[in-house]
Chains A and B, each alone.
Chain A
Amino acid sequence: MSTRLPNAGRLLNRSKAVEFTFNGKRLKGFEGDTLGAALLANDQMMVGRSFKYHRPRGIIASGAEEPNALVNMGQDGRFEPNQRVTTTELFDGLTATSQNHWPSLEFDVGVANNYVARFLPAGFYYKTFMAPRAAWKHVFEPIIRQSAGLGKAPKDRDADRYEHFYAYVDVMVIGGGIAGLQAAKAAGDSGAKVLLVEQTRHWGGRAPVDGAKIDGKPADEWITETLAALAAMDNVSVRTRTMGSGVYDHGYVLAYEQVADHTPGDGRPRHRLWRVRAKQIVTATGAIERPLSFAGNDIPGVMLAGAVRDYAINWGVSVGDRSVVVTNNDDAYRTAITLKEAGLDIPVIIDARAEANGDLPNQARALGIRIETGKAIAKVKGGKRVTGVAICQQAGEGAVLEEIACDSVAMSGGWSPVVHLWSHCGGKLIWDTEQAHFRPDADRSPTGADGAAFVVPAGIANGAMGTADVLVDADKAGKAAAKAAGFTAKRTAAPKAVQVDEAALSPVWIMPQGAGPKARMKMWLDYQNDVKVSDVQLAAREGYESVEHTKRYTTLGMATDQGKLSNINGLAILADSLNADIPQVGTTTFRPPYTPISMGAIAGEARGEIFQPLRKTPIHGWHEKNGVYWEPVGHWRRPYCFQRSGESVEQAVHREVKNTRENLGLLDASTLGKLVVTGPDAGRFLDMMYTNMMSNLKVGKCRYGLMCSENGFLSDDGVVARIDEDTWLCHTTSGGADRIHAWMEEWLQTEWWDWKVYVANLTEQFAQIAVVGPNARKVLEKLGGMDVSKEALAFMEWNEGKIGGFDARVYRISFSGELSYEISVPASQGRAFWDALHEVGAEFGAMAYGTEALHIMRAEKGFIMIGDETDGTIIPQDLGLNWALSKKKEDYLGKRAQQRSHMTDPNRWKLVGLETLDGSVLPDGAYAIAPGNNDNAQRNMVGRVTSTYHSPTLNRGIAMGLVLHGPDRMGEVIEFGKTDQTMVKAKIVDPVFYDKDGEKQNV
C-alpha cells in the first residue's frame, strides 16, 4: 500500500494538517502537499477510469505530465472538471471526485469496453459509424455524446474573476529549476529587466530530489541563496504558480498565473493571464521521463521512477512497500537507492541493458539490491493495483523466467527535454541518438521582428543532462539572452556541481523487444486516450505514414495532456513499424498552451456586464425606465419599441407608428454618425466620397447622399448639411459612423494627402432627437426660440440657435414622410432636452418611438435602408437611385466599377414595391420563383424580398424587393416561396406606398 513515511517530505509543513474529501471520503494531508501526494499518502492509488476502456487508472507522474489522475474539483460556482491532482495544491476544505465512471470508481459499468477492447481498435469510430446515414443522427451520435468527455461540464456560473496583465521585459525565463534560476541570475547581473516564472509553488525543480550539490552546498541551500540574490535585484521579478503557456511571434509570451486556486474565495482573482512581450526568452523547462511499454504498464501502482522519488523526498510518501524498478538507464537507480534508504523493499531492479556498471548501479549493488540486466517485464500482474511482475529476457518474446510479488513498479525509459515552448513559434529540433530524445537545435531558433533568434533553451530542456552541465548551459543561456537584448553580461563563472557519471541508456521502445500481439495490446502509450502499441502499429499497416495522420487516426497525443508521456514512445513505434528512423518520422506540432488553461483566464475581465462594450446614448437611462425592448445596432443598444403594460412588441410598434403619423413621435437618433469635414478642399473631397455632388450644396441646405466602395457597391447613406463655406456635416448610418470616418481618413492619408481637409467624428458630441408628426412644429413653437416655420426653415434646410433654451441645430429632414425636425443638442443636455420635449409635447400626443416604427414608416415611403436593401452586392442603379448619381462629376468612388459590364447588365434585379394579393406579410428574404429549373435542378428565381412589414397605416403587408426587370413589370403578379413549401402571390407596385407626392412632409 502507499503511505506516508515518518519525518520525510521537504516540501511539507508537517505541523499543519489539512482536511479534504475525495469521493466524499474525509482525508488528511499536510500543508505543502499536492492533491496527488495526499491521495497517495491515504492509499488512494486508483483515482479514475480511462477514457475509452474504462480501465482502472492510478497516478503515474508527479507533475504537469500526468495523464490519468484527473478529477472534478470544487462545487457549484467553483466546480471544474479534468483537474490534474499532481499539480493541484492541497488546501483545507478541498473537495474532489473521480470521473469517467458509473456508478462508482470501484464498480464501473463502462469497463465492459475493456472486455471488447479487441473490437475497438484505432479508427474504430471512423470505420464503424459510416452507414446508414440516418443512423448517425438517431443512434450513433446520441450514444457517443452520452459517453463522450471525461469530466462533466460545470452547470453554474463561475464564481471567480479573472484578469490579464501586460508586462514588458528584456529577458523572460520560463522554468524555476536550477537552470532557470541560474539563467535569471546571469541575465539579471547584466542589468536586463528579467521576469522568471515557475509553474509550481516551489523553486529548484528536481535538483534537490536528485541530491545535487552546487558550489559545495546542498541544492536547497544554493536555491535559497540564489533566490535571495534575485530578490535583491530591482530589475528582476520572480513569480511562482505561473506557467509559461505559449511562445508566439515577436517575443509574445502568455503566462498563466494560478493566483488563488489554492485559496478559493479569498477575494483575489482566480487566474491572471500575463501577456508578456520579451526581447529574449529563455526556456528552462526541464525534462519529462518516458514510460516503458510493457504489458500492463497502466495498472495502478505502475509509476514513473522519477515521480516515485519525488513523492518520497518532496512529500514523504511511499507509493509501495515493495517496488520493482524497471529501467533502460542509470537515473532510475536513484529511485531504488532513495526507497531502499527510506527502509522500503526493492526486490529487484530490472535493467534492459546488457550491463549496468555505472556509479549509481554500483551504489545500488552496495546496498544489496538485486539487479537483473538484459531483462524485461513480460507482464504486470494485478487489476486495480499491482500485485507483481513477471520477468523475461528483453531480447526474447516474453517467456516468463520468474514472477516477483510487489505493490508498485517504478519505470524509466529515459528523459525527454520539454521542448514545447521552444517549438511553439518555430524552433526546430534535432534527434539526440545517445539520449534517444529530441532536443532544441540551437542554430534554428524561432526568429523575431528583427530577424534574429529570440528563444534560448537552457539546461536539461536543452539536452544538458547532468547537474554541472545544466548550470554551465543555463549560465551561458542567461548571458546570451541578456546580450541579445542589448546588455553586457558580467564575466562571472557558472556555479560548479559534482556530476555523477551516468552510463549510456539503451533505447527500449517495447518490452520485451519480441513481444507478441497479445502483449502489445496491453502496452499503453497514451494513457488518457487509451492508445496502445498495437493501435499505432495497426495505423502504420493501414497506410498512415505521416505522424500527423497517425496522431489523428489513433488519437495518440490528442488528450488533455497532449502526449507529454506518449509522444516519443509513439513516434518510435511508428518509425519502427515503417522501418524508418525516428528523425525521419519527425514529431507532431507542439501547440500552446503547454497545459490546459482556464477559459476564464483567456476571457480575462470580459464577462458579465463588461463582456463587450455596450454603447449608450445620453437618453439610454430614460429608455430603460420606459419599457424599452432593445435592439442591438453594432455595439449600441437602440430602442426597438417601448412596450406598455399588457402590450405585445407588435402592438407597441403599431401604436408608435400610428401616433407618429397622427400626432407626435420622438425618436432618439443620437446614434446616427456625425462627421465634420472641413478645409479648402472639403467640397472636392466630398464629391469623391459621395456619388452625388456635394460641393455645390448651399450653406444652410441639406442633401441626401450615397457612398459606394470602389467596387461600386453601396456602403452607406445619409443627409449632408453644409455648415459654412469650408465645412460640411455628414450624417452616416448608426452602424457606419466609425467605418465611414476611417474610410474618409484612409483616402485623405493614403491617396489625396495633399488635399487640405480635416475630418472629425462628432457622433457622440451631440444627442440627436427626431421630432416627427403633424404636431412637430407645434411642440417646437411652444418650447420657443428659433423660428421653425415653413418660411424660415423649409424642407431640407437647417438652422442653429436656441430651442427651449437649449443650444440646438435643427435639420428639417424626414425619414418618415411626416413633418419632421431632427434636432441635435450637446450630449450633456440630451436627456434634459428629451424630457422637455415630452413635457411640453404631452398636450400634442408626444410619444417615443423605436427603430421598428422608424423602419415601417420609411418602408411605407419607399426609402431604402443600408443593410436591408443593400447587402454588399447592390449598386445605386439597382435601387432606382440614379437621380443621386452625379452626371456632372468625372469621378467618384465606385464610378468606374459601375461602368463594368456586369454592373450595366439590364438583367440585374431592380427595386420595386410588392403587395401580396391577400394582404399578408411576405416572409423576409423570400425568393420569387419562375417556371423552369436552373443547372442545379433548383427552381429558377427572379427576385427576392429585401424589406417586409405589416403597415399599420395601410393595414396590410407591404414589402420591397429586387426583381428581374421589376420596374418594367408594374402590376404583374409573381409568386414567392415560403418555407412551408406554399406560395404567396404578390403584385409588383411602386415602392412608395404612402403619400406619393410628399405633401405631408413639406408643410
Chain B
Amino acid sequence: MLTLDCPYCGVAAEETELHGGGEAHLKRFGPASSDEDFEGYLFMRENPKGVNFERWRHVNGCGKWFHAARCTMTLEVFGTYSAQTTEPPKALLAKIKKKRPQWPGYGAEK
C-alpha cells in the first residue's frame, strides 16, 4: 500500500487517505478544438512502464489535489508537487534523470 507525501499537509499519507486521479498535465480541449485534439484529451493516455506523472487527491485529509512522479514498476516515488502547474518542476525532472539515466525524459514518448 502506497504512501505519498502530501505537499500541502506535509504528511506521508497512506493510500487509504488518497484518491488517484489518472494522468497528470492533460491539456483541456474545448468546443473549438479538432476531433483529433479532443480525442487525445478525452481518451488517449500514457501507460508507461517506468516513470509516470499522475494526479492524486488527499481526499481524507486536506482535500487538495497534487501531482506525483512515480515508477509504475517499482513504485518508487520520485517526488510530489503542486497541482497548480502545467508541467513537472525542473529540479524533479533532473532528479529522476539522475536516478534513471535510461529514461527518455518528460514528454519524450508523446
Contact = CB atoms under 8 A, between A and B. Distances in A.
A759 B64 CA distance: 13
A900 B35 CA distance: 8
Contact of A749 (B30, B32, B38, B64): B64
B64 A447 contact: no
Interface in A684-739: 710-711
A891 interface: yes
Contacts of A277: 3, 14
Contacts of A895: 30-31
Given A711-B42, A750-B55, A249 B75 contact: yes
Contact of B31 (A251, A711, A750, A891): A891
A165 to B, nearest CB: 14
B102 interface: no
A918 interface: no
Given A451-B76, A742-B57, A750-B55, A250 B2 contact: yes
Given A450-B76, A896-B33, A250 B3 contact: yes
Contacts of B47: none
A355 interface: no
Contacts of A250: 1-3, 75
A252 B65 contact: no
Interface string B77-110: 1000001100000000000000100000000000
B2 A899 contact: no
A711 B42 CA distance: 7
Interface in B5-49: 14, 21, 28-33, 35, 38, 42
A745 interface: yes
A753 B83 contact: yes
A602 to B, nearest CB: 14
A447 B35 contact: no
A369 interface: no
A749 B35 contact: no
Interface string A224-258: 00000000000000000000000011111000000
Contact of A449 (B28, B57, B75, B99): B75
Contacts of A746: 21, 57, 65
A896 to B, nearest CB: 5
A609 interface: no
B30 to A, nearest CB: 5
Contact of A750 (B65, B74, B77): B65
B61 interface: no
Contacts of B57: 742, 746
A613 to B, nearest CB: 13
A890 B30 CA distance: 9
A710 B1 contact: no
A8 interface: no
A449 B3 contact: yes
A836 interface: no
A899 B32 CA distance: 10
B50 interface: no
Contact of B2 (A449, A742, A900): A449
A897 interface: yes
A751 B32 CA distance: 18
Interface residues of A, number: 27
Nearest to B38: A896
Contacts of B99: 451
B77 A449 contact: yes
Contacts of A248: 1
Contacts of A249: 1-2, 75
A673 B48 CA distance: 39
B30 A896 contact: yes
A30 to B, nearest CB: 42
Of the four ranges (under 10, 10 to 19, 20 to 34, 35 or more), the interface on chain B belongs to 20 to 34
A451 B100 CA distance: 11
Nearest to A447: B74
A605 to B, nearest CB: 15
A152 B87 CA distance: 58
Contacts of B42: 710-711, 897
**Residue with the highest number of chain B CB atoms closer than 10 Å, among A745, A750, A891, A899:** A750
A777 B1 CA distance: 57
Contacts of A711: 42
A890 B75 contact: no
Contacts of B55: 750
A899 B31 contact: yes
A252 B64 CA distance: 24
Contacts of B2: 249-250, 449
Given A742-B57, A742-B59, A751 B76 contact: no
Interface in A439-453: 447-451
Nearest to A896: B31
A451 B78 CA distance: 9
B41 to A, nearest CB: 8
A890 B3 CA distance: 41
A768 B2 CA distance: 40
Nearest to B78: A451
Nearest to A899: B31
A128 B33 CA distance: 60
Contacts of A900: 35, 38
Interface string A889-925: 0110001110110000000000000000000000000
Contacts of A710: 28, 42
Contacts of A896: 29-31, 33, 38
A750 B65 CA distance: 7
Nearest to A248: B1
Contacts of A890: 30-32
A176 B59 CA distance: 39
Interface in A648-706: none
A751 B28 contact: yes
A940 to B, nearest CB: 29
A832 B55 CA distance: 45
A248 B2 CA distance: 9
A749 to B, nearest CB: 5
A251 B75 CA distance: 12
A749 B3 CA distance: 22
Nearest to A449: B77
A252 B1 contact: yes
Contacts of B64: 749
Contacts of A449: 2-3, 75-77
A620 B21 CA distance: 35
Contacts of B21: 746
Given A250-B3, A742-B59, A447 B76 contact: yes
Nearest to A451: B76
A252 B12 CA distance: 13
B36 to A, nearest CB: 12
A750 B83 contact: yes
Contacts of B65: 745-746, 749-750
Nearest to A254: B1
Nearest to A746: B65
Contacts of B3: 250-251, 277, 449
A745 B33 CA distance: 25
A252 B2 CA distance: 8
A448 to B, nearest CB: 8
Contacts of A753: 83-84
A71 to B, nearest CB: 34
Nearest to A753: B84
21 contacts: A249-B1, A250-B75, A277-B3, A448-B76, A449-B76, A710-B28, A711-B42, A749-B65, A749-B84, A750-B83, A750-B84, A753-B83, A890-B30, A890-B32, A891-B31, A896-B29, A896-B30, A896-B31, A896-B33, A899-B31, A900-B35
* Nearest 6 pairs of A and B residues by beta carbon: A451-B76, A753-B84, A749-B65, A891-B30, A252-B1, A896-B31
Interface of B: 1-3, 14, 21, 28-33, 35, 38, 42, 55, 57, 59, 63-65, 71, 74-77, 83-84, 99
Given A745-B65, A750-B55, A753-B84, 14 more contacts: A248-B1, A249-B1, A250-B1, A251-B3, A252-B1, A447-B76, A449-B77, A450-B77, A711-B42, A746-B57, A749-B64, A749-B83, A750-B83, A890-B31
